[in-house]
Structure 1
């Protein structure tokens, strides 16, 4: 299996609850989340001189819209603050912010972000001082305009042809409702379906559909979100158990792998609202995987795409368009 950037690290820590979480029932009700109406009312919006519309939401989410392009970015470390972790942050002399928490075994999980909140690096540092890369964007920061900050927008758009997919469709797009754990593991363990020209940054992967499509993916179609909501109710947690097991199997072989969780909506409502909801729903899936089933949060990244990639091309309500997709992206970031 292709390796992700950085040297092979030790097995990931057990995470909250550890492997025993697989044998436990779902936890009790979580604290009530704000209503989407409250998010809408709390937005702060302005228009840049070049016409960019910038919407800042509570929870450190920023949506930027210009013409027919829209993108959302969020706090890359917010999920780490769940589960009672003692997360600390310090600003470095170079202007970057280093955010970290320490596992019981002494392993430190560190995320470095720049002044615009863009993820520069995520890595583990052991008690002996050795470092193990998970995500390393440092070599891309100088020559690729990536990320979104308040008043600044950049999309790492690449000129890529669609991938040549020669495997059966059901193996390329795995229907979670019909798949076994082995089916999921096979999809996550597989190499890219088409050749890669080079290694890519996380933002390039997030911003380029044709690049992401070079990896097989799993389509979650059994998680039901209430209209205008992103919370996963505890009675639905068991639906994600098989997904968590498959991801953990991959991580036991390659602890520095990265999985992208993508949120998608139908076309009902505004594109800004749909972008926000899709991003929050992707994060909600990641949180359940980590806090209930022990998937290390540092191996997950999330991204909302709103209504940009409709599975069924219709402007009306369509359950098949309200979905979450999961794919392994480590090979796309690997040095070739």
Structure 2
């Protein structure tokens, strides 16, 4: 484990992951944030928004998110994430939860599984696409961190390749001219959140193959975070409904070792069925 660019790089067997603190992003419109120690090494973070809404996140002793809820001023609770903490006592030392699964069998057309944003400008298409169920039956629900770390689990839900947003070489900034290109997908996400305020969307960041592995992991993580912050600050998508993760150069869209703008991108998935028990049951 080592620090890089205010993030943590974890090497586990033949895999490398990056972790970051999402608390600053969750503190959007917060009037206070406080922390409480819980039994069994867990701790609870509570963000209190200016309108009295509370965002409550519980992490286990490994730092994994096992519960996240939005509690409204009237006391109603909206569960975004819930996973049994006892599960970790059984499987830690951590392993990829997709390792025991057979290869993914895709029974729908590829166009219904991967949506290239550059070919679509209709929010209804994004709305229908994001609302699709997983492409295979799930054995159980997963933690956010398991979904972040397992390509096999993530691949059970369709993804949007947001190729309308690309980045300058070495940069995680989104130009002002590209911000409006997020509007159609933000509108679709907003409609889904009106129907189910507990939806969770994952923003995945990617780089081209130029540069060191660690630098690219950190850069891709910041790119995912930049898109999430734009969705929140410009289009009012609540930050607690967004999960970000960078994958560096691991999943190149164009297989080249050189500079390639199409590889400097983000992707979006609706991971609610993977992390929320109610959505999974439906």
Superposition TM-score, scaled by structure 2 size: 0.89
Deviation per CA, 1:163-213: give whole Å up to 9, x if none.
Answer: 222222222110111112111111110111122222222222112112211
- In structure 1, the residue matched to 2:146 is 204
Which sections of structure 2, spanning at least 5 residues, go unmatched?
none
* DSSP 3-state at the match of 1:174: strand
Please say if 1:143 is aligned against 2:84: no
* DSSP 3-state at the match of 2:11: strand
Please say if 1:258 is aligned against 2:200: yes
**C-alpha deviation, 1:86, in angstroms:** 2.5
Q: What stretches of structure 1 move > 4 A for 4+ residues in a row?
A: none
C-alpha distance in 1, partners of 2:89/2:177? Answer: 46
Please say if 1:156 is aligned against 2:96: yes
- In structure 1, the residue matched to 2:44 is 98
- In structure 2, the residue matched to 1:166 is 107
- In structure 2, the residue matched to 1:287 is 229
Give 1:64's match in structure 2, choosing from 2, 6, 10: 10
Please say if 1:331 is aligned against 2:278: no
C-alpha distance in 2, partners of 1:79/1:155? Answer: 28
**C-alpha deviation, 1:109, in angstroms:** 1.2
- In structure 2, the residue matched to 1:85 is 30
* DSSP 3-state at the match of 1:190: coil
- In structure 1, the residue matched to 2:56 is 110
Q: Is the 8 Å Cα contact of residues 156 and 208 (structure 1) preserved in structure 2?
A: yes
C-alpha distance in 1, partners of 2:11/2:123? Answer: 39
* DSSP 3-state at the match of 1:235: coil
- In structure 1, the residue matched to 2:71 is 125
Please say if 1:297 is aligned against 2:242: no
Superposition TM-score, scaled by structure 1 size: 0.75
C-alpha distance in 1, partners of 2:264/2:95? Answer: 24
**C-alpha deviation, 1:67, in angstroms:** 5.5
C-alpha distance in 1, partners of 2:206/2:90? Answer: 30
C-alpha distance in 2, partners of 1:297/1:87? Answer: 16
Give the total of aligned pairs: 274
* DSSP 3-state at the match of 2:179: helix
- In structure 2, the residue matched to 1:193 is 135
Distance 1:318 1:226, change over 3 A: closer
* DSSP 3-state at the match of 2:177: helix
- In structure 2, the residue matched to 1:227 is 169
Distance 1:191 1:307, change over 3 A: same
C-alpha distance in 2, partners of 1:279/1:226? Answer: 15
C-alpha distance in 2, partners of 1:285/1:162? Answer: 31
Decide which moves more: 63-72 or 179-188: 63-72
Q: Is the 8 Å Cα contact of residues 64 and 143 (structure 2) preserved in structure 1?
A: no
Please say if 1:176 is aligned against 2:117: yes
Q: Is the 8 Å Cα contact of residues 90 and 97 (structure 1) preserved in structure 2?
A: yes
**C-alpha deviation, 1:155, in angstroms:** 4.5
Deviation per CA, 1:290-316: give whole Å up to 9, x if none.
Answer: 111000111110111111112222222
C-alpha distance in 2, partners of 1:248/1:184? Answer: 11
Q: Is the 8 Å Cα contact of residues 112 and 121 (structure 1) preserved in structure 2?
A: yes
Task: Report which of the two structures shows the higher radius of gyration computed on alpha carbons.
Answer: 1
Deviation per CA, 1:138-162: give whole Å up to 9, x if none.
Answer: 443323438xxxxxxx443432223
**C-alpha deviation, 1:116, in angstroms:** 4.3
- In structure 2, the residue matched to 1:245 is 187
**C-alpha deviation, 1:259, in angstroms:** 0.5
